[in-house]
Amino acid sequence: MGRKLLGFLLTGVLVTFAFSAVGDEEKEAVRASLQKWAPGVQPQSIKAAPIPGIYEVVVEGQVFYISQDGRYAMQGQLLDLANRTNLTEERLKVMRAAAIDGLDEQNMIVFGPEQAKHTVNIFTDIDCGYCRQLHRHIDEYNELGIKIRYLAFPRAGIGSSSYDKAVEVWCAKDRHQAMTQAKAGKPVENTAKCNNPVAEQFNLGQSLGVNATPTLILEDGSTLPGLVRPQNLVNILERKIAAHP
């Protein structure tokens, strides 16, 4: 429903400085306006943007902006030029980090020690070429202190061949070995159907805006699309630590 709603929205940029709380009456007015355009949509949150009459609304993990009277709506990046901050991306980072933090690591396929220096979550597809290249360097990531936590994202969707392979990996006796075999293009042996988180993780990725693999989600909720080599990744992570000690 959220993606259909976003199809009505214009793309643009607003210049702003800070958000403020919204009273119950204002929220209800915005909610009522939203229902005119997309009946049944339930916003996750409604906040006032600093531009009079404009509100930030989150629906299914997507951020957009709407006027209180429901006449104007837009999807785009809200920028604070004074502080050189992309407020929309900052909001999305918080939501991504919260979503990932809410997951149980036991439902991921993890390569690396528990007490690693960095943790990187990767939405991955067994058949993705760049995902396979990334996995070939898994030992290098681990040696540099990076723990890799894989989340399934079969790009072709639930029920596809890639989806079935992700399920086979999850249901294997040794998931680490199975992941390495599958990403090398080898069949996973001795697997049976089992309860698995593949569909749930695929749906989560979609709700977080993942549309390609690999997509890396860092601990602060920021994303890195595509293949990032081990040393480049650790450099990025170290810069983030230095910028926010």
Nearest CA among 165, 54, 177 for reference residue 109 = 177
Residues 6 or more apart from 8 whose CB is under 8 A from it? 37, 38, 73
161 three-class SS: helix
Q: Which residues are catalytic?
A: 125, 128, 131, 155
Find tokens 């939203």 and name the residue: 34
Angle 161-171/175-183 helices, nearest 10 degrees? 150
- Taking the C-alpha atoms of residue 17 and residue 85, their distance in angstroms, rounded to an integer, is 9
CA distances from 41 to 32, 35, 59, 69 (A): 10, 7, 8, 17
